[in-house]
Chains A and B, each alone.
Chain A
Amino acid sequence: MSHPRTTLACSFAAILVIAASGVARAQPADAAPDCVHAWGPACEAALDEAALEAEVRDPHAPADDAPERATTEAAADRDAYRATAVADAPIASTHTEDPTVSGTSIPLRDRGYAGEEIADVLPEVPGVRLTNLGAPGQFIGVRLRGGSYQQTTVLLGDLPLASPDTPFDFSLVPTWAIERVEVYRGGAPVWLGGGGIGGVVRLVPRRTRGGEADLHLAGGSFGTYQLAGGLGAASSRVATVAAIGLAGTRGDYPFVRDPTPLVPGDETIERRANGDNVRGSVLLGATVELDAGTLETLVLAVGRQGGAIGGGLSQALHARSVDRQLWSSTAFRRTGAIGERGYRLEARFGAGVARSGHHDPFGEIPPGPNATDDLAITTDTRLAGSVELAGLVELVTVAAVQTFDRRPHDSFDAIQEPASRRVRYDHALELRLHGGADVRWEVRPSARLTVSRGALRFEELNVFEDRSVDDVSPTFRVGAVVAPGSAVAIRASVHSGVRLPSLLELFGDRAGLEANPELDPEHSMGGDVGVSTCGTHRLVELSGDLTAAVDRRRDLIQLRKNGYQTAQAINVEAAWVASFELYGRLVVARHLRADLQATYLLTRTDDGFELPMQPALSAFGRVEGGTEALGAHVEDLALYVETLHVGASSTDTKNLAEIPARTIVNVGARARLFDDALSASVELADAFDVRGFDLANYPLPGRRFAVQLEYRKDL
Chain B
Amino acid sequence: MRLLRSLPVAALATLSACTEEFPEPLVPLGTVPVFAVRSVSANFDDSSFAMLNADGDPIYEAWVTSGVTPVGLSGAIHSDNAMPTLEARDGSFTIIDRAGADRITRFQFPDGNVLGQMRTQVDDGSSGFSSNPQDVAFIDATHALVSRYGHNLDPAAAPLNRGTDLVEIDPTTMTLTGERVDLSGFNTTVEFEGDEGPVTLDVYARPSRMVLTPNGFVVVALEMISAGFETAIDGIVAIVDAETHAVTSHPLPGLENCGYVFPVPGAPNHVAVRCLGYYDDAPDEHAGLVILYVDPDGVVKEAASYRASEHPGEPNPTNNVVMLSTRRFVGVDHGEWDDTTDVDVAYFVDLEAGTTTPVLTAPKGTDLFGTMAYYPQNGLVLAPSRTDGLHRLRYDGTTVTYEDTIRLFPESMTVVDVGRIR
Contacts and interface: CB of A to CB of B under 8 A. Distances in A.
A317 B41 contact: no
B153 A361 contact: yes
B360 interface: no
A653 B79 CA distance: 12
A624 interface: no
Interface string B54-73: 00000000100111111111
A4 interface: no
Interface stretch (A208-216, A261-269, A588-596): A261-269
A326 B153 CA distance: 35
Given A366-B100, A412-B228, A317 B67 contact: no
B41 A654 contact: yes
B195 A459 contact: yes
Nearest to A273: B128
Interface string B84-104: 000000000000000111110
Most chain A CB within 10 A, of B71, B79, B153, B338, is at: B71
Nearest to A264: B22
Nearest to B413: A654
B42 interface: yes
Contacts of A570: 338
A360 B266 CA distance: 48
Interface string A607-641: 11100100000000000000000000000000000
Contact of B71 (A260, A511, A659): A659
B126 interface: yes
Nearest to B16: A264
B233 to A, nearest CB: 14
Contacts of B276: 564
Interface string B214-230: 00000000000011111
B24 interface: yes
A343 interface: no
A535 B72 CA distance: 44
A55 interface: no
Nearest to A263: B117
A654 B42 contact: yes
A415 interface: yes
Most chain B CB within 10 A, of A318, A363, A514, is at: A363
Given A264-B22, A412-B228, A414-B230, A660 B70 contact: yes
B73 A696 contact: yes
A659 B42 contact: no
Contacts of B376: none
A18 B410 CA distance: 53
A319 B127 CA distance: 9
Contacts of A565: 229, 279
A503 B366 CA distance: 23
Given A314-B102, A315-B128, A362-B127, A656 B367 contact: no
Contacts, number: 206
Given A459-B195, A696-B72, A564 B413 contact: no
Q: Chain A interface mostly helix, strand, loop or mixed?
A: loop
Contacts of B105: 260, 262
A275 to B, nearest CB: 13
Contacts of B102: 259, 313-314
A235 interface: no
B126 A653 contact: no
A657 B65 contact: yes
Contact of A566 (B128, B195, B227, B279): B279
Nearest to B192: A414
A318 to B, nearest CB: 6
Interface in A650-680: 651-654, 656-660
Interface stretch (A39-47, A555-563, A701-709): A555-563
A549 interface: no
A54 interface: no
Interface in A527-578: 558-566, 568, 570, 572-573
Interface bin, chain B: 35 or more
A654 B70 contact: no
A573 B42 CA distance: 10
Given A259-B103, A311-B100, A315-B128, A652 B72 contact: no
Given A259-B101, A263-B114, A657-B75, A364 B129 contact: yes
Given A414-B195, A511-B229, A261 B69 contact: yes
Nearest to B62: A656
A652 B128 contact: no
B227 A369 contact: yes
A256 B114 contact: no
B147 interface: no
Nearest to B131: A314
Interface stretch (B44-52, B296-304, B351-359, B394-402): B44-52
Contacts of A658: 67, 70-71
B128 A364 contact: yes
A654 B69 CA distance: 16
A563 B127 contact: no
A312 B22 contact: no
Interface in B271-318: 276, 279
Interface string B121-153: 100011111100000000000000000000011
A657 B23 contact: no
Interface of A: 256-265, 310-319, 361-366, 368-369, 412-416, 459, 461-462, 511-512, 514, 558-566, 568, 570, 572-573, 607-609, 612, 651-654, 656-660, 693, 696-697, 699
12 contacts: A258-B73, A260-B117, A261-B72, A261-B76, A262-B24, A262-B76, A264-B22, A414-B230, A415-B228, A558-B43, A607-B412, A608-B412
Given A561-B367, A653-B45, 18 more contacts: A256-B72, A259-B74, A263-B23, A264-B23, A311-B73, A313-B102, A318-B127, A364-B128, A366-B130, A416-B196, A511-B229, A511-B230, A559-B43, A609-B412, A654-B42, A656-B46, A656-B65, A659-B72
Q: Which 5 A/B pairs are nearest by Cβ-Cβ distance?
A: A364-B128, A414-B194, A657-B67, A652-B41, A652-B45
